[in-house]
Amino acid sequence: MMIAQKEHVELAASGAAMGMVVAAAGGLVIVALLVWAVRLGINVRQRESAPPRPDEQPRLPESGAVGEVREQREPDEVPRTGDGGERLLPHDLHQSGSRRSDNQERPRWDTGSGGS
């Protein structure tokens, strides 16, 4: 009975040792992959062009910064096709969903209303 238990203990100990070896080998593989990835990143970075110098940076125009433009917009209606007409394709539509309104007066709330 004692010999059978001793064999089980030895098998368990050898299995645990084998697990530690596999875990250590896996860790070394991961470290090697990380080192390779860092070296690859450094090589790619060295091949890229240098960042722009301060004198190559964009400058404001002499007239100054562009100001804010406020205008009233109105929706640009989607053209309707009649029965039997061809369907609309994306290139048939305008680039923007709205257009400049003819009336540029700012809309006001009705007097006496809360605006809600």
Query: Quick one: average pLDDT of 25-40?
Result: 97
pLDDT surpasses 50 at 1: no
pLDDT value at residue 26: 95
Q: What residues contact residue 78 under an 8 Å CB cut-off, 6+ apart?
A: 88, 93
Q: CA 94, 98, 69 angle in degrees (round to 5)?
A: 120
pLDDT surpasses 50 at 33: yes
Residues paired with residue 73 on neighbouring β-strands, in sequence order: 100
Query: Quick one: average pLDDT of 74-101?
Result: 77
What is the band of 43 on the pLDDT scale with cuts at 50, 70, 90?
very high
Instruction: Look at 71 and 13; give whichever has higher pLDDT.
Output: 71
Query: Quick one: average pLDDT of 72-78?
Result: 82
Q: How far is CA 73 from CA 80, 92, 95, in A?
A: 21, 21, 14
pLDDT value at residue 66: 82
| Least confident residue range of 34-43, 47-56, 96-105, 107-116 | 107-116
pLDDT value at residue 4: 54
Q: What is the mean pLDDT of the chain?
A: 81
Give the per-residue SS3 of the chain: CHHHHHHHHHHHHHHHHHHHHHHHHHHHHHHHHHHHHHHHHHHHHHHCCCCCCHHHCCCCCCCCCCCCCCCCEEECCCCCCCCCCCCCCHHHCCCCCEEECCCCCCCCCCCCCCCC
Cα Rg for the chain, rounded, in angstroms? 37
